[in-house]
Amino acid sequence: MDMLYNSDTFSVMHLQVDDAVTPVRPDVPALARHGFEIVDKRSGKEIYLEGSWAEQFQAHLRAWQENAPTQEEVEDTLAGYAELAQNPVVVH
């Protein structure tokens, strides 16, 4: 798990699958593939992006690496994803 971004408003974590890890509890599903967790600190909600959503977000990350966006541009993009957030942050 890597923290990619952290501000007063948002935090973004990249969760990666480690094929070498065996589940501690067989009754708890293991992470199937990588994804991104975006936490909106203002609303106390989070969203987990996987699959095509994660691929789309990863494209944003690659573009940011090439173009060095302003914090406002990053926050605007994260706010767009955060509009989809439904899950309250319980433990972080």
Please determine, for residue 86, whether its predicted confidence score (pLDDT) is greater than 60.
yes
pTM of the model: 0.76
Each residue of 44-69: pLDDT tens digit? Answer: 989 999 888 898 999 988 998 898 89
Which of 38, 60, 61 has its CA nearest to residue 49?
A: 38
pLDDT tier, 1 (very low <50, low <70, confident <90, very high otherwise): confident
As a whole number, mean pLDDT of residues 39-45 equals 91
